[in-house]
Amino acid sequence: MKHSKIWASLAILLAVILWGLSFVSMKIVMNSGLPPYTMITLRYLIVVLILALIFVFKPRYQKQKLPRKDKMLFLWSGAIGITAYFLFEAKGISLTTASSASIIIAMVPVFSFLADKIFFNHRSHTIQLLGIALSILGVYAIFSVSLEPFHTASHPLLGNLLMLGACFCWVAYSVLSKALHQRYSSFYITTMQGFYGFFFLLPFAFLEFPAWVPVSGMAWVHLFYLAVLCSVLAYYLYNFALKILGITIVSVYVNLIPVVGVVGSVLILHEPLYPAQWLGGSLIVLSLFMVNHRVKLVLKDHE
């Protein structure tokens, strides 16, 4: 059991590093001249091909008959959680810095907590509410330095707003997927949503046809990194760790994604990081630990 926990800890740590550096890779691909929507469509083309290959060797999935209600859930969750989320994220990263993008997208757990509170009436603790207040201050600090463009961000304010849009898309996707996770496996859900999401991405890529450029070798390397390592391997590692360590411990690791994103952006992309961004990022990371304060709530629920 001890060894399995060590392997699970290493697995979630690797997943966090892969996800954190994905913001850097996306920025590099777009800096090579590839438009944002085309970039994300190529990424998901690779993902869908991998999932389709695995799906072929899983006969039990091919025989599943979906009720019309579930088909619509798969469609809408794929359209929102894959298409809309990545459209917001890709365009946002193209306009702001990878460091700001990684910090803002870390707000997803905060928005998810609020969604659970509003739609499912989940209990909350004072420390969690304080965490939400700190996260709002953190976002304000980051936005305070995004009014003027600089050499690594052509329109940081709009880019940061689009990253907030990506956060809201992910929360909506999570709410839509809640019922699906009670009836289907994670792989089946990922595959079906991936197919729908890719289908809806195609028109946006074709809209960028006049701006298409030959994809460089380095861009392909990063596209395969994003597809194979971030969208497939990291997801598997996350679920492996989740099964052994539980949501509370895994959440602590996941909170470190923006830290990896910022470090990677500064060291690899040489992006500037202003004091207000340090302050905002620190407040948001702290707020994530506070919002994920679940232990006392779980104990109280069983008293």
Q: Counting beta carbons within 10 angstroms of the beta carbon of residue 1, is it exposed (0 to 12), middle (13 to 18) or buried (19 or more)?
A: exposed
Cα–Cα dist 274/266, whole Å: 11
- CB neighbour list of residue 130: distance below 8 Å, 6 or more residues apart: 290
Strand segments (E) across the chain: none
Residue by residue, DSSP assigns 142-165 as HHTT-SS-BTTBSSHHHHHHHHHH
Residue 18 pLDDT:
95
Is 25 in contact with 222 (CB distance < 8 Å)?
yes
Task: Choose among 86, 93, 89: nearest CA to 265.
Answer: 93
In the prediction, which pLDDT does 148 show?
A: 61
Its domain, for residue 96, covers 2-301
Three-state DSSP state, 235:
helix
Q: Note the pLDDT of residue 118.
A: 73
Q: What is the pLDDT of residue 268?
A: 92
**CA nearest to 205, candidates 70, 11, 17, 35:** 35
Contacts of residue 225, defined as CB under 8 A and 6 or more positions apart, other chains included, come to: 22, 25
Residue 297, pLDDT score: 40
* Domain count of the fold of the chain: 1
Terminal C-alpha separation, the chain: 28
pLDDT of the chain, 303 residues: tens digit per residue? 666 888 888 998 999 999 999 999 999 999 999 999 999 999 999 999 998 888 777 766 556 677 888 889 999 999 999 999 999 999 999 999 888 898 888 888 788 777 777 776 667 677 877 888 888 888 878 877 666 666 667 888 899 999 999 999 988 888 888 788 788 877 888 888 989 999 999 999 999 998 888 989 999 999 999 999 998 899 888 878 878 887 667 777 887 888 888 889 989 998 887 788 888 888 888 887 777 665 444 333 333
Question: pTM score, two decimals?
Answer: 0.84
Task: Judge whether 160 and 103 are in contact, CB under 8 Å.
Answer: no
At residue 144, what is the residue type? S
Contacts of 30 (CB under 8 A, 6+ apart): 36, 39, 90, 93, 94
CA distance 94 to 198: 20
* Of the candidates 146, 128, 136, 111, the residue with the CA atom closest to the CA atom of residue 271: 146
Q: What is the reported pLDDT for 303?
A: 31
Of the candidates 82, 239, 255, 92, the residue with the CA atom closest to the CA atom of residue 176:
82
